[in-house]
Every structure is written in C-alpha cells, then in structure tokens.
C-alpha cells in the first residue's frame, strides 16, 4: 500500500510509475524495456520494506534509479516529484546529481 500526502491509502500502481517515467524520459534515449525494468525494481524494493510506504519513498526510489539511467530525465522527474518552484531548485538538484556522480566514480569497486 502507498500512503499519499493527503493520508489516502491505495495499492501500489506499477502503471503510474511507468507513466511518470515515460513523461520524464520523453525524447530521451531510453526504451520502454528499461522503464519497465526500473519500475519493477522500484516495486520490488518497496515490497521488501513491507506494509505501507509513503509516496515520498516511492518518488525517492524512482529518482535514485532514474539518475543512473538518464540524468536529464532524473532532473525532469525531480522537478515534478520535488515540486520545484524556481531556478534555485534546479540548481540544487544539479549540484546533488554532480556530487552523487562524483561519489560513485571515486567509490572503491567491490568484486
């Protein structure tokens, strides 16, 4: 179950996640299979948490995976999910993405 900001509870909707991903990746080099895989991975990770999950957690899980798939699409998704109001919000997200990418690039690889 997903708990919306209003407190309303509803079943997790795989289709809503895919629709959000399609909007964020419009005209980007991402195919439908990649979106389905990402949505399935999000659904599985949330299922492992068990019980009810707030919509914020769903959005965060999508955004984390989308960053690895396509950073432009991730910024688009974040602008809706995080309700960007001005240019400073975009700037903050780009800084976070840059920091995240640098951290991953310098992290030791585990085999």
The pLDDT of residue 69: 93
Which has the minimum average pLDDT: 2-6, 34-38, 105-109? 105-109
pLDDT tens-digit series, residues 24-60:
999 999 999 999 999 999 999 998 988 899 998 998 8
Instruction: Retrieve residue 13's tokens.
Output: 């909707």
> What is the β-pairing status of strands 53-54 and 2-3?
parallel
Domain residue spans in the chain? Answer: 2-106
**Partners of 75 in beta bridges:** none
The pLDDT of residue 105: 60
pLDDT tens-digit series, residues 55-94:
989 988 999 899 899 989 988 888 887 777 888 888 887 8
User: In terms of DSSP H, where are the helices of 1-111?
Assistant: 14-24, 32-49, 55-69, 71-81, 87-106
């Amino acid at each position: 179950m997903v708990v919306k900001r209003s407190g309303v509870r509803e079943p997790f909707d795989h289709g809503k996640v895919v629709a959000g991903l399609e909007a964020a990746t419009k005209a980007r080099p991402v195919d439908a299979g990649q979106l389905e895989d990402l949505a399935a991975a999000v659904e599985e990770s949330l299922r492992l948490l068990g019980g009810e999950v707030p919509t914020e957690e769903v959005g965060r899980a999508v955004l984390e995976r989308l960053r690895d798939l396509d950073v432009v699409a991730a910024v688009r998704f974040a602008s809706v999910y995080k309700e960007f109001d001005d240019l400073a919000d975009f700037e903050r997200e780009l800084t976070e993405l840059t920091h995240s990418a640098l951290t991953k690039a310098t992290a030791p690889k585990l085999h």
